[in-house]
């Protein structure tokens, strides 16, 4: 098993921490992680794409190395504002989002089309009338008082056990995780355990997802998806335990310019499990964008 690349260096850009690949690629890309994730979730995909895009992976407010949100707002619209701030710094870019980051990216693409050249969504956390066990757990974590109590109890569990449990949930095959990446994830969790804002940021983001599932009207996520002008790629893992792969069919109906890909060997984090496969699909989308072509099914 080859050694994975080191995580990309980071710096503060405005109020958030961002990890970037070296300059030199012809275009820019911004990557947005999911709940309880960080910029490092994108390391391997960014490596695969570094010749075509200079990648910038954001740590959403309160996540990764970013400080807590000054106003305590961890809603999807608040996260979208943080991403828009980064895009205003990079200029128009190809936008990637996973899970919560997918929901955030849909809102960004719909409300600031001038900043989004293409949109790639990997298991986006879009509202579903038949949520899986994972979203039910998120709803429990988002419940006032219960969420804080659950988080406090979980911190008593060794970091190794918590990381392994998470990997079993989000990977199709947790045994495929490289030992280096496993060690990095454990050390990162231990580091975050000592941050005073870690629990409130995670619970606030979980509540933000639940609020989006319940939102109605023109600002609901599926209504926003129908307004996205950028060519779009939606990737689902067939073994996703958090977001139903069947949601791919709805995405195919709703996004105006979309291609949907279902990966048989992936779970919830295809960009980590199969970065080369996801990169191939992303390269195709970027190439179509340059030519001015909309994605077509297939």
Q: Has residue 296 been placed in a domain?
A: no
User: Long-range contacts: 248-257, Cβ < 8 Å, 24+?
Assistant: 250/126, 250/222, 251/121, 251/124, 251/126, 251/225, 252/297, 254/222, 254/225, 254/226, 255/225, 255/226, 255/228, 256/226, 256/228, 256/229, 256/232, 257/228, 257/229, 257/230, 257/231, 257/232, 257/294, 257/295
Q: Has residue 2 been placed in a domain?
A: no
Mean pLDDT for 157-168 is 92
Q: Rounded distance, CA 163 to CA 176, Å?
A: 14
pLDDT digit string (tens) for 56-94? 999 999 999 999 999 999 999 999 999 999 999 999 999
Average pLDDT value for the chain: 91
Quote the pTM value. 0.93
Res. 297: pLDDT tops 60: no
Give the burial class of 199: count Cβ atoms within 10 A of its Cβ; 0-12 exposed, 13-18 middle, 19 or more buried.
Answer: buried
Q: Residue 290: its pLDDT value, please?
A: 81
Res. 294: pLDDT tops 90: no
Res. 113: pLDDT tops 50: yes
Q: State percent of the chain over pLDDT 90.
A: 82
Q: Rounded distance, CA 142 to CA 280, Å?
A: 36
Q: Has residue 5 been placed in a domain?
A: no
Q: Residue 10: its pLDDT value, please?
A: 98
Q: Rounded distance, CA 290 to CA 52, Å?
A: 12
Across the beta sheet with 16-20, the strand order is 10-13, 16-20, 53-59, 27-32, 93-98, 116-122, 232-237, 258-263
Q: Has residue 229 been placed in a domain?
A: yes
Q: Has residue 297 been placed in a domain?
A: no
Res. 2: pLDDT tops 90: no
The domain that contains 113 carries what CATH number?
A: 3.40.50.1820
pLDDT digit string (tens) for 195-242? 999 989 998 999 899 899 889 999 999 999 999 999 999 999 999 999
Res. 43: pLDDT tops 70: yes
Res. 9: pLDDT tops 70: yes
Q: Residue 293: its pLDDT value, please?
A: 58
Q: Residue 186: its pLDDT value, please?
A: 97
pLDDT digit string (tens) for 128-150? 866 554 554 555 455 554 444 55
For residue 180, how many C-alpha atoms fall within 13 Å in the half-sphere facing its CB?
10
What single DSSP character describes residue 2? Answer: P
Q: Has residue 242 been placed in a domain?
A: yes
Q: Rounded distance, CA 138 to CA 52, Å?
A: 36
Q: Residue 22: its pLDDT value, please?
A: 97
- Where are any strands of DSSP class E within 77-229? 93-98, 116-122
Q: Has residue 274 been placed in a domain?
A: yes
CB 101 within 8 A of CB 16: no
Q: Has residue 99 been placed in a domain?
A: yes
pLDDT digit string (tens) for 171-188? 999 999 999 999 999 999
pLDDT digit string (tens) for 253-265? 999 999 999 999 9
SS3 237: strand
Question: Which residues, including other chains, have CB under 8 Å from residue 284's CB and lie 6 or more apart?
Answer: 233
3-state helix, strand, coil in the chain (%, to 5): 45, 15, 35
Domain boundaries, position 106: 10-291
Q: Residue 157: its pLDDT value, please?
A: 80
Nearest CA to 231 out of 207, 263, 260, 262 is that of 260
Residue 119 CA, distance from chain mean position: 12
Q: Structural domain tally of the chain? A: 1
């Amino acid at each position: 098993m080859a050694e994975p690349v080191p995580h990309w260096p980071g710096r503060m850009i405005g109020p958030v921490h961002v990890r970037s690949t070296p300059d030199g690629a012809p275009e820019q890309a911004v990557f947005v992680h999911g709940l309880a994730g960080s910029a490092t979730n994108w390391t391997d995909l960014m490596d695969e794409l570094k010749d075509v895009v200079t990648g910038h992976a954001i740590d959403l407010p309160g996540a990764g190395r970013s400080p807590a949100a000054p106003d305590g707002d961890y809603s999807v619209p608040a996260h979208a504002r943080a991403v828009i701030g980064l895009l205003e710094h990079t200029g128009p870019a190809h936008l990637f989002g996973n899970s919560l980051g997918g929901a955030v990216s849909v809102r960004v693409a719909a409300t600031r089309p001038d900043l989004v050249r293409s949109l790639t969504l990997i298991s986006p956390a879009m509202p579903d009338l038949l949520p899986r066990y994972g979203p039910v757990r998120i709803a429990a974590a988002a419940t006032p008082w219960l969420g804080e109590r659950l988080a406090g109890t979980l911190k008593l569990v060794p970091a190794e056990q918590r990381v392994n449990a998470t990997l079993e949930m989000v990977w199709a095959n947790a045994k495929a995780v490289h030992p280096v990446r496993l060690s990095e994830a454990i050390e990162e969790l231990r580091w975050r355990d000592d941050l005073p804002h870690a629990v409130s940021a995670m619970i606030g983001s979980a509540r933000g997802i639940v609020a989006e599932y319940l939102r109605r009207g023109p600002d609901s996520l599926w209504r926003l998806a129908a307004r996205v002008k950028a060519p779009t790629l939606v990737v689902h893992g067939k073994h996703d335990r958090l977001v139903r792969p069947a949601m791919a069919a709805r995405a195919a109906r709703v996004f105006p310019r979309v291609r949907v890909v279902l990966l048989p060997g992936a779970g919830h984090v295809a960009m980590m499990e199969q970065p080369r496969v996801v990169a191939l699909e992303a390269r195709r989308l970027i190439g179509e964008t340059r030519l001015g072509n909309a994605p077509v099914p297939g």
